[in-house]
Structure 1
Amino acid sequence: MKLAAFGDSITAGQYVAEQETYLYKLQVRFGCETINAGVPGNTTAQGLARFERDVLAHRHDVCIVAFGMNDHVHTAPGTAKVPPEAYRDNLITIIERLKALRVIPVLCTMNPIVEGDAGRYYYRRHPQEWYTNPEGAQAWIDSYNRIVREVAASLEVPLADVAGRWERYLAQGGSLGDLLRTEENSGTDDGVHPTPAGLDLFAECIGKVLEPLHLRLGGDA
């Protein structure tokens, strides 16, 4: 199985060593050839601009598609960088272009964030009052995750519901402070990018989806 990962800084592995990225963990687990096509800061629109060069030209068997953490970010009150309907359309375009080349897409939902306040974490960088209807940045992330799930269901493509996996971790007594870079574990009020432990959950969740694909494509049982 040849595996590509197409996304933003979380896919690229910003702030972690290569061996700690979810793609590296999947490469080791499945013994497969991989290409990391994650670029920090990218939205789906920016991803599409480099899609042919960074992904399609390599003709992999499976492509993980993990965008949204930058798409939902607001540039003005109630105005996302990539509005919900454009985000949906971009995901559909990515999937259709992959399918046209017989590449299997695997869509991923986004991890939750630490919202904080005007003095620290997300709202120190992005004004809280901009995020309305729905109220709050996390609610916007949740709404974009619903789009990911809807697109996966409507186009019948595999879904790695990372958001759902993180929710189960938290329901079982875990903390976002374990999974996201915080002042306590990294000295920075990041609250968006996963720690190595958070990327372990990404790899676990995506790996479960890849298992049957790996077998279908001739991998070892």
Structure 2
Amino acid sequence: MSFFKIVVLIAATIALFSFINNQEDEDDGNYFVPEKTTIVAFGDSITKGYRVDDNASYPAQLSNLLHTNVINAGISGEDTSRGLLRLPSVLKKYKPNILILCEGGNDILRGQDLRKTKENLAQMIQLAQKQHIFVILVGVPKLDILRVTTASFYEDLAAQFHVPLADDILQTIVNDDTLKIDDVHPNAKGYTLLSKKIAEIVTNQYIDLNI
């Protein structure tokens, strides 16, 4: 291959990568939330960012996508009973406009009564809505007849309280070995997908309930 052809090939390769990167930047720029919007990401280890760098957790990536403050209020190992007890103080401290609620995974893993899980989540949603906080619910998957699907009560709650539901994103991650660090936790790439899904919901559905 001649020197000229090598130079042309290198230039074309650089141009291609530049185009791809620009497209990714443009995609990230499509997300939007009003200025000074405060978001609390509330949940367990999936929210906390299990075994990934702090800047790879979904709240950190979501903050970068939306260019706003996203508080990571995740605690590893928490079930919904403990979450229900903790939530009032978190809301009082941060006074968010948006609450992202991603809990229930530990209830499922520990074989707890999912009727109680649903009741706890319902009380959390009501608590936030009474304070005019916009709630986004993230559905958590469970093993159902040899396949992993989002637990059905998340859809019930979303319909009952008229809140947006990220219903299949964790299911997608858990079913793809390239997107998870173990059987239940996303890796950095999986968290990127989760953050983009939530950023899309915020952009398209968020309404300031204090107006």
Q: Fold conserved (TM > 0.5)?
A: yes
Residue 28 in 1 paired to residue 64 in 2? yes
Whether 2:100 is the aligned partner of 1:64: answer yes
- Over the aligned positions, Cα root-mean-square deviation in angstroms equals 2.3
Distance in structure 1 (CA, Å) of the matches to 2:188 and 2:200: 18
- 1:88-99 equivalent positions in 2, closer than 5 A: 88-99=118-129
C-alpha distance in 1, partners of 2:191/2:165?
Answer: 17
Q: 1:22-171 alignment to 2 at 5 Å? A: 22-74=58-110, 80-81=111-112, 83-110=113-140, 135=145, 142=149, 145-163=151-169, 166=172
Write the distance in 2 (CA, Å) between the matches of 1:94 and 1:197: 29
1:54 offset after TM fit, Å? 2.3
Q: Residue by residue, what CA displacement relative to the aligned partner does 1:148-206 show, whole Å, maximum 9, x if unpaired?
A: 11100111111112447727xx9xxxx7221111xxxxxxxx32111111111111211
For structure 2, list consecutive stretches of 5 or more residues without a partner in the other structure.
1-36
Find the aligned partners of 1:207 and 1:162 in 2 and give their Cα distance: 15
Shift of 1:66: 0.2
Unaligned runs of 5+ in 1: 75-79, 114-133, 182-189
Percent identity, please.
25
SS in 1 for 2:135: strand
Contact 1:111–1:163 at 8 Å: present in 2 too?
no
Amino acid at match of 2:114: P
Aligned residues of 1:3 and 1:62 also touching (Cα < 8 A) = yes
| SS at structure 2 position matched to 1:55 | helix
Contact persistence 1:6–1:65 (CA under 8 A): yes
Candidates 179, 182, 189, aligned match of 1:197: 189
Does the 8 Å CA contact 2:154/2:167 hold for their aligned counterparts?
no
Distance, in Å, in 2 between the alignment partners of 1:112 and 1:86 is 16
Structure 2 length-normalised TM = 0.74
Report the alpha carbon displacement of residue 61 of structure 1 after superposing the two structures with TM: 0.1
TM-aligned CA deviation for residue 27 of structure 1? 0.6
Q: Write the distance in 1 (CA, Å) between the matches of 2:78 and 2:45.
A: 8
Secondary structure, in 3 states, of the residue corresponding to 1:212? helix
- Equivalent residue of 1:86, what SS? helix
Contact 1:5 1:37 in 2 (8 A): yes
Alpha-carbon spacing, 1:44–1:200, altered in 2? closer, same or farther (3 Å) = same
CA 1:200–1:94 in 2, change beyond 3 Å: closer, same or farther? same
> What secondary structure sits across from 2:61 in the alignment?
helix
- Give distance in 1, aligned partners of 2:128 and 2:104: 18
Cα distance in 2 between the residues matched to 1:37 and 1:44: 14
Q: Deviations over 1:124-144 (max 9, x none)?
A: xxxxxxxxxx556x55xx3x6
Quick check: 2:45–2:74 contact (8 Å CA) kept in 1? yes
Aligned residues, how many?
A: 172
Letter of the 1:57 counterpart: K
8 Å contact 1:107–1:152 — kept in the other structure? yes
Instruction: Spell out structure 1 runs of 4+ moving beyond 6 A.
Output: none
Equivalent position of 2:177 in the other structure: 177
